Amino acid sequence: MSMLQQKMSCPDNSAEQFEQDGFFIARGLLSPADVETIRETFMQQAANGPVEGLSETHRPVGNASRGYDKSDPLSFYPRMMQPHQHPELAVGPVAMKYMLHPSLHPLLKAFIGQEPVAVQSMFYFKPPGARGQDLHQDNFYLRVKPDTCMAAWIAIDDADEENGGMVVVPGTQNMEIACPEPSDRSRFFTDHHIEPPPGMKPVATNLKAGDVLFFNGSLIHGSYENSSKDRFRRSLICHYVPDNSSELSQWYTTRLRFDGTTISIAPAQGGGPCGNLQEIAKPH
């Protein structure tokens, strides 16, 4: 185990580690029983392929949209967007429970410095052979002001370099939100790429099922292809904003505190770093 991993496994210095690197890994934060509940519920929901109104079968590309080719592993297992907003489906209550799970709250509050407000949930299946998600910054999409958003990335399988685990670029949490370049579509299913500053490189996180990776909305992060033969890399990802946020992209309609109360946040104004509101407002 590296010195960085040793430090990250100690909860006593979590705030210090987060301040230094822009991310923190809470090892074993969810129990094996929790992980099994999430995995089985989402796999059963996806047993017959994409679910209308939940699975992202088409992605916005400018004023058009793009679907998955039938040969793409993601055509059967696309990511599920905002499952917590679907109480009529089995995944709805499960996503809501873990988006507001009490074990997440103290770390989120410590890292954000304020009461966290949940605004998004997503579930990624990432089956064998699936492409990755290119390097990006979350607040490019959520457009939170005056601060930034926060992610809690819950590993539902062991996630390493072979099956397309997460990579982060330590130290980029203090960067401005950048206007992306086009991604390499042969390797990534997303359209945007952010090039790390000179001297900064992606670092593999190597998570175990039940670990939670916390990172802020300016940190450059992503994942590469799942090159394994038989290993999924499933994850439940939730985003949060500070409860004093004055702006948030209009596409994120949930604004839910951990005590169940809601707050009002005005829609983000202007066109963001690229000067194109339509392009950056869509959920990622």
Please tell me the predicted confidence (pLDDT) of residue 144: 97
| 57 assigned to some structural domain | no
CATH number at residue 148: 2.60.120.620
Q: How many domains does the chain have?
A: 1
At 59, the pLDDT band (50, 70, 90 cuts) reads low
91 pLDDT higher than 90: yes
Q: State pLDDT tens for residues 156-213.
A: 999 999 999 999 999 999 999 999 999 999 999 999 999 999 999 999 999 999 999 9
The residue range of the domain holding 187 is: 3-47+70-281
| 21 assigned to some structural domain | yes
First to last CA, the chain: 33
Whole-model pTM: value is: 0.92
Please tell me the predicted confidence (pLDDT) of residue 275: 77
| 52 assigned to some structural domain | no
| 55 assigned to some structural domain | no
| 84 assigned to some structural domain | yes
